[in-house]
Amino acid sequence: MQVQFKCRAPHARDLRELASSRLSAALQRLATQVPRVTVELSDVNGPRGGVDKRCQISLHTAGSGTVIVNSIASRWRAAFDDALARALRLLARLLHRGERRATPLRRLGTSVSVET
């Protein structure tokens, strides 16, 4: 499984190793189903602070499209943990059902969508 990490914020770069190891452990059983993962971290409003740390995880699956999950929190780790948990739940549901969904699923403060 290939993990790409994209980040412009200097403080979030420390999360790279943690994110890679957590993703590898979480997707160990599904490594053949998910050949590529992209993690993007961004600070929505820059140095002003607040609940503005955004984590987007894209799981590029073999045959089921791309699962994209966004999460916004006040800390990088919280945003990553929330996005990873949501992505795993959505991926498990998607693979269990065998469905392809083209419409985005939305929640307050986060968004989840599956592209085919």
Q: What is the pLDDT of residue 94?
A: 82
Q: Is 37 helix (H, G, I), strand (E, B) or coil?
A: strand
CA distance linking residue 76 with residue 54, whole number of Å: 8
Q: Mind listing the pLDDT tens digit for each residue in 82-110? A: 999 999 998 888 877 765 555 555 555 55
* Percent of the chain predicted with pLDDT > 90: 28
The HSE-up count of residue 36 (CA atoms within 13 Å, CB side) is 8
**Cβ-based neighbours of 51, under 8 Å, separated by 6 or more:** 72, 73, 74, 109
Distance, in Å, from the CA atom of 9 to the CA atom of 92, rounded to the nearest integer, reads 31
pLDDT at 17: 85
Q: Which one of 3.40.605.10, 3.30.160.100, 3.40.190.10, 3.40.30.10 gives the CATH number of domain 2-115? A: 3.30.160.100
pLDDT at residue 112, as a whole number: 61
Q: Which pLDDT score, from 0 to 100, does residue 58 have?
A: 94
Structure tokens at 108: 């307050």
List, for residues 37-56, the tens digit of each pLDDT value. Answer: 999 998 887 777 777 889 99
